[in-house]
Structure 1
Amino acid sequence: MLTVDFDRLGVRPGDRLLDMGAGGGRHAFEAYRRGADVVAFDQDADEMGRVREWFGAMKEAGEVPEGAEADAKEGDALAMPFADGEFDRVIAAEVLEHIPADIQAIDELVRVLRPGGTLAVSVPRWFPEVVNWKLSEEYHNNPGGHIRIYTEEELRDKVTKAGLVFDGRDYAHGLHSPYWWLKCAVGVRNDDHPLPRAYHKLLVWEIMKNPKALQWVGKVLDPLIGKSLVLYFTKPLAAQGA
């Protein structure tokens, strides 16, 4: 299930795309299917090994256009091993809330994006995230967990101060917020509780089958309680002269 709208980001075949904080690779896989040359980047070496294997399996299965390339690299978001302006599109989905030095990480995202290129950044949305934190200390107080709650204004300000132009916003995963509220209320590790377990089956149905009824519900809930905030930016062409 994607958080970023690839059409809004402007992904085209042949684009060089970076998925920073790629995790399990869901956005990287979609970009590869669309014919982009993809780099999935994350600090988790084991995760990147699995993503690299999936890239190979996708190519063998004929799921990607001829000529598209993909790789997975392990590294530090604060010092990425890429040249200035190397990527046409950059995605940072649900990662900045984990990084203490988020301004430095944003500077790196901007550095590797070419002038005229586009960036999509998603983070947990303020209101659903506040509810989670209020309901459960365990939800966020763990190694590698969420260390801050962004307002839209804060995130937009940090990225525009790094040199990008704000293009617009979106919200995603409205069905997911109530699930996490339930999880936080009964215990985030209490997997046997019947309420979140039943709700999880609904989410699996949404992800696997994407029925029209849940598509409609999602369109209603996303702007109201969507769990993710997605902001889109462009790097000005004038940056090339600088």
Structure 2
Amino acid sequence: MTSAPTTTARQRPKGLRDFYENPAVPVASGDARSIRQARILAAALGPATTRTATVLDIGCGDGTAAATAAPLLAGHRVVGVDWSQDALKRAHARLPYVVRGELSDGGLPFADGAADAVLFSEVVEHLVDPDSALDELRRVLRPGGHLMLSTPNLAAWYNRGLLLAGVQPVFSEVSLRGIHGRPGKEVVGHLRLYTARALREFVAASGFEVVRLSGAPFHGVPRPLRALDRLACAVPSAASILLLHARKA
């Protein structure tokens, strides 16, 4: 997720909904992840000259990720979906189609099987109930439809070293009010973190067939370590970001 000012005492949220409606909370993630994810999806969908696909960017935030992916998905219809009205206002400046929806049972305003693909980028780690969320994504996808999910990797190469040193892993958070016990200063509201193995098993248990798991770099890695972070992408289980491509079984 992109950096933002730490929530101060005067900005303390009453709950998760207030936290995510706060304009200071980041609602976009790095371009490197967006581009890699879009390339995988573009290859899976094929050119729009054959068929125009409907792609839902669920949890689109300010629309940055979808706008970055759009040139690689030229001709396909990309729809931004978020429950935050503030995020949707910003996304509308980048995307022609935005709608409000929630990841509850029937909370997405689409018919069963209406979508050819779902982008689900850096969302699952923020959810109280990820199982119900994947059930809803599966509902709106057509049979064989594509799920492109990305999330931070609990077992990223640097987190393994931090844990050995007794330090809280990067991406993990114990409070909505500040960072405690780990590097970094920004609070982004992570509730759940996955290793590569856990993510595969979780998605498969939700009725999807995992096609591919790959890695992407994290824009927040200090500059001297970014080359190493890019190299780690060759081993997805150690990469900063997990990119998972699955199909509705």
TM-score by length of 2: 0.66
CA distance in 1, matches of 2:129, 2:108: 14
CA distance in 2, matches of 1:162, 1:170: 20
CA distance in 2, matches of 1:217, 1:138: 21
State the AA in 2 paired with 1:85: G
Q: Which residue of 1 aligns with 2:208?
A: 164
Q: CA deviation at 1:152?
A: 2.0
Kindly indicate whether the alpha-carbon contact (under 8 Å) linking 1:84 and 1:111 is maintained by their aligned counterparts in 2.
yes
Number of residue equivalences:
189
State the AA in 2 paired with 1:233: A
Kindly indicate whether the alpha-carbon contact (under 8 Å) linking 1:21 and 1:42 is maintained by their aligned counterparts in 2.
yes
Q: Which residue of 1 aligns with 2:153?
A: 125
CA distance in 2, matches of 1:138, 1:98: 11
In the alignment, structure 1 residue 148 sits paired with structure 2 residue 159 = no
Q: 1:110 aligns with which of 138, 143, 152?
A: 138
CA distance in 1, matches of 2:172, 2:65: 27
C-alpha distance after superposition, 1:26-56 (max 9, x if no partner): 332144332221111112211111111223x
State the AA in 2 paired with 1:141: S
Pick closer, same or farther for the CA change 1:137–1:154 going to 2, 3 Å: closer
Q: CA deviation at 1:2?
A: 4.1
CA distance in 2, matches of 1:109, 1:46: 23
Q: Which residue of 1 aligns with 2:119?
A: 91
State the AA in 2 paired with 1:76: E
State the AA in 1 paired with 2:221: P
- Of stretches 146-155 and 112-121 in structure 1, the one that deviates more from structure 2 is 146-155
CA distance in 2, matches of 1:218, 1:177: 10
Equivalent positions of 1:1-242 (< 5 A) are: 1-3=31-33, 4-9=36-41, 10-11=44-45, 12-13=47-48, 14-33=52-71, 34-55=74-95, 70-78=96-104, 79-128=107-156, 131=162, 134=168, 139-142=173-176, 145-173=189-217, 176=219, 178-179=221-222, 199=223, 219-223=230-234, 225-236=238-249
Q: Secondary structure at the match of 1:160?
A: helix
Q: CA deviation at 1:145?
A: 0.5
Bigger radius of gyration: 1
Say what the alpha-carbon RMSD is for the aligned residues: 2.9
CA distance in 1, matches of 2:171, 2:121: 23
Kindly indicate whether the alpha-carbon contact (under 8 Å) linking 2:211 and 2:246 is maintained by their aligned counterparts in 1.
yes
Counting helix residues as a fraction of each chain, which structure ranks higher?
Answer: 1
TM-score by length of 1: 0.68
Pick closer, same or farther for the CA change 1:136–1:107 going to 2, 3 Å: closer
- Of stretches 134-143 and 27-36 in structure 1, the one that deviates more from structure 2 is 134-143
Q: CA deviation at 1:139?
A: 4.5
Kindly indicate whether the alpha-carbon contact (under 8 Å) linking 1:87 and 1:112 is maintained by their aligned counterparts in 2.
yes
State the AA in 1 paired with 2:206: A
CA distance in 2, matches of 1:222, 1:160: 22
C-alpha distance after superposition, 1:76-116 (max 9, x if no partner): 12221111111111110110010010000011111111112
State the AA in 2 paired with 1:50: R
The gaps in structure 2 that reach 5 residues or longer are 1-30, 178-187
What percent identity do the matched residue pairs reach? 29
Pick closer, same or farther for the CA change 1:89–1:113 going to 2, 3 Å: same
